[in-house]
């Protein structure tokens, strides 16, 4: 008799919640209850989640302050767009998405090897400079149509793709962080000198985190290109990198579920502020200031959202309510 496979209740509950979430949104899209406008918001949320998760690995978990994430997103977007424009098929799209992610990761390795020996503000300036170099290169290349950008990119991304890629990104990064390599990255953030004293090659793990983060930034870029079917170099400017960083800080540095919550909140706020174009950015900035004043460590801090967290809060609530005899 073979051994019985035991399924943990938390895993089963998480699977049911995810399956219900996907099914309900898919049903609402098919019935037209979720309009094209809100589908665009949904796509923006998923793309921002992938970007925030990947940047959180670099900045939140490994402690490397990067301001060049938009540049690696641009590499994934343009590589995927160029390939799918040449051959508008699903196979070409998958090849383009993988090629874009690999190209972004390769660029991340090239940038990471010399620059990740820097720390703090110096690293931020170096990554920002690299992102601007990437943007300017795409602005001047003929194959990218220069500053005019690319139009008519075949749209292969739908809700199923968005949900699947977001889920894959989350679980791949979570499993990486729970591995010995992920723990080494976290040790670099906590105390780099102590990590080196314990025999951890800090530069190696910085580069590993940077390559994995830029790989998923490339995935996000490919998804963006395929869904919005239009690319322009100015989309991937400095403000885009700052937007991604704001999501990470808002959600909580060192919290994957915080990045998911932060991306959703900012996308919803930005969507509802579209009706106030004159003062939209003022209100947006004020909301961020208030949140940071009330919760400077971010919404989740360094904690992860889980069923155990809710059960712990419930248990604490009921235990504090008991009277002493």
- Return the pLDDT at 164: 95
pLDDT tens per residue, range 221-240: 999 999 998 899 999 988 88
Contact between 246 and 35 (Cβ < 8 Å): no
Q: Give the pLDDT score at 46.
A: 95
pLDDT tens digit string along 55-92? Answer: 999 999 998 888 889 999 999 999 999 999 998 898 99
Distance CA 178, CA 235 (A): 34
Residue numbers in the chain where pLDDT is lower than 50: 1, 5, 7, 310, 313-315, 317-318, 320-325
Residue 56 CA to residue 113 CA, distance in Å, equals 19
- The counts of H helices and E strands in the chain are 13, 2
Half-sphere exposure of 211 (CA within 13 A, CB side): 12
**Kindly report the CA angle at 246 between 52 and 25, in degrees rounded to 5?**
50
What's the whole-model pTM score? 0.89
Structural domain boundaries in the chain:
36-236
Q: What is the pLDDT of residue 290?
A: 83
């Amino acid at each position: 008799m073979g051994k019985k496979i035991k399924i943990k209740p938390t895993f089963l509950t998480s699977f049911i919640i995810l399956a219900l979430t996907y099914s309900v949104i898919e049903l609402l899209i098919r019935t037209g209850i979720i309009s094209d406008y809100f589908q665009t918001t949904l796509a923006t949320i998923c793309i921002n989640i992938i970007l925030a998760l990947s940047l959180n690995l670099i900045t939140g978990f490994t402690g490397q302050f990067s301001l060049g994430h938009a540049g690696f997103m641009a590499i994934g977007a343009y590589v995927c767009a160029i390939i799918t424009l040449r051959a508008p098929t699903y196979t070409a799209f998958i090849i383009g998405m993988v090629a874009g992610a690999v190209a972004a990761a390769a660029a991340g390795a090239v940038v990471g090897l010399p620059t990740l020996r820097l720390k703090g503000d110096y690293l931020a300036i170096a990554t920002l400079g690299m992102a601007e170099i990437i943007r300017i290169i795409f602005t001047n290349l003929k194959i990218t149509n220069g500053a005019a950008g690319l139009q008519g990119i075949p749209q292969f991304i739908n809700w199923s793709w968005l949900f699947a890629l977001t889920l894959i990104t989350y679980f791949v990064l979570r499993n990486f962080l729970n591995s010995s390599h992920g723990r080494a990255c976290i040790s670099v953030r906590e105390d780099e000198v102590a990590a080196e004293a314990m025999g951890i090659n800090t530069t190696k793990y910085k580069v590993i985190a940077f390559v994995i983060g830029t790989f998923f930034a490339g995935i996000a870029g490919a998804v963006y290109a395929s869904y919005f079917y239009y690319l322009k170099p100015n989309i991937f400017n400095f403000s885009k990198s700052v937007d991604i960083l704001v999501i990470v800080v808002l959600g909580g540095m060192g919290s994957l579920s915080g990045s998911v919550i932060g991306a959703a909140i900012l996308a919803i706020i930005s969507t509802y502020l579209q009706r106030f174009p004159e003062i939209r950015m003022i209100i947006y900035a004020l909301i961020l200031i208030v949140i940071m004043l009330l919760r400077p460590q971010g919404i989740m801090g360094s904690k992860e959202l889980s069923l155990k967290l809710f059960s712990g809060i419930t248990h604490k609530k009921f235990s504090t309510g008991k009277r002493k005899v």
